[in-house]
Amino acid sequence: MRDFFDDRGNHFPILEDAAGALANELAPGAPAEMNHAIAERLRVAHGVRVTVQPLELALRRYDPATRGLALSESLPRESRGFHMAFQLVMLEAREAVETVLKEAAPSTAEAGMLMRIGLLNYVAGALVMPYAAFHAAASELRHDMEAIAARFGVSYEQACHRLSTLQRVGARGVPFFFLRVDPAGNVSKRFSAAGFPFARYGGSCPRWIVHTAFAQPNTVQIQVAELPDGATYLCFARAIAQPVVRWGEPRPTHVVAMGCAISHAADVVYADGLDLDRARVGIGLSCRLCDRPDCGSRAFPPLEHRLSLDPLTAGASPYRFEAKAR
């Protein structure tokens, strides 16, 4: 599914059109009123009654027979709005979603359902954050994600995810990559309009801010990251803790990270005050693919270089190697 979204730059014009038309009906020019407008649309047009209540093993549950949409009381306000939007696009934007899904031609029913849910999530995000308004706000606020989230009444992660989709022809935003990773290094979301070369397999670089941001939750961390080939990105990341249903359960925590090519740094508020040359931190895609010779964070030897070990000499890295002739 990731390849399907990446191949299209995480942007779907058909879905944007469907979401934009619906948003213009519900709350034209008033994104802060969208949640109320969605709830009213569900009630008036579809007879759907929304309640907030305790739910076992679910965050949202819809009963077609009673037309009752139950939302978990553990959901924060912005997440309740997103789940209402998801329900509404299931009822009103299904045709657009099925058109895109038909093009994808999933190989199994399970893959098809996974893609369908992903596309419905896309439309829901585009509904609560309409393209033109979001694009304008991102430019005006210079991609200050906390300010953008506040303007649209959405979560930090929702705003970041939406930012990664701004690739409309004639109205493109700054191309960003988007990544969500847990403390074990598992990547649960990954999109790249910025051309960042994510490692497809194995862990990524421990020097990257994606991993160090866990040390300071709910604070935006900034890094100018330089890859071995010289490509440089302005990256920002924030650790976010999710609510738990009951006491004693581990709190789910993820880092949401974004970045753009350093050439766009002037358009991003997080670059303010940085010396973009002196602030550069060398990272790699992963230890196996990185040829930095003296990295104290290296966990594995590189694949393309012969080891050159000497018991009489110790360096920052336990894996000394010979540079491969090019």
Angle, helices 109-128 vs 34-46, to 10°: value is 120
Mean pLDDT of 309-324: 74
What's the predicted TM-score (pTM) here? 0.89
Domain residue limits, the chain: 2-131, 177-282, 292-326
Instruction: Provide the edge-to-edge strand list for the sheet that holds 68-72.
Output: 49-53, 68-72, 60-63
Residue 254 pairs in a beta bridge with: 240
pLDDT of residue 199: 67
Q: What share of the chain is helix, strand, coil (3-state, %, to 5)?
A: 40, 20, 45
For residues 227 and 61, what is the distance between their CA atoms, to the nearest angstrom?
44
Reply yes or no on whether the pLDDT at 309 is more than 70: yes
Q: How confident is the model over 259-271, as pLDDT tens digits?
A: 999 999 999 999 9
Q: How confident is the model over 26-75, as pLDDT tens digits?
A: 988 888 889 999 999 999 999 999 999 999 889 999 999 999 999 999 99
Name the CATH architecture for the domain at 2-131. Orthogonal Bundle (1.10)
Q: How confident is the model over 108-148, as pLDDT tens digits?
A: 999 999 999 999 999 999 999 999 999 999 999 999 999 99
Mean pLDDT of 237-251: 86
Q: How confident is the model at residue 92 (pLDDT cuts 50, 70, 90)?
A: very high
Name the CATH architecture for the domain at 177-282. 2-Layer Sandwich (3.30)
149: tokens are 């989230």
- Give the residue among 90, 112, 101 at the shortest CA–CA distance from 42: 90
Q: How confident is the model over 187-206, as pLDDT tens digits?
A: 888 887 767 877 665 568 88
pLDDT of residue 239: 96
312: tokens are 């009489």
Percent of all residues in the chain with a pLDDT value above 70, rounded to a whole number: 96
For residues 106 and 123, what is the distance between their CA atoms, to the nearest angstrom?
19
- Give the residue among 194, 204, 205 at the shortest CA–CA distance from 258: 194
Mean pLDDT of 287-291: 82
Percent of all residues in the chain with a pLDDT value above 90, rounded to a whole number: 66
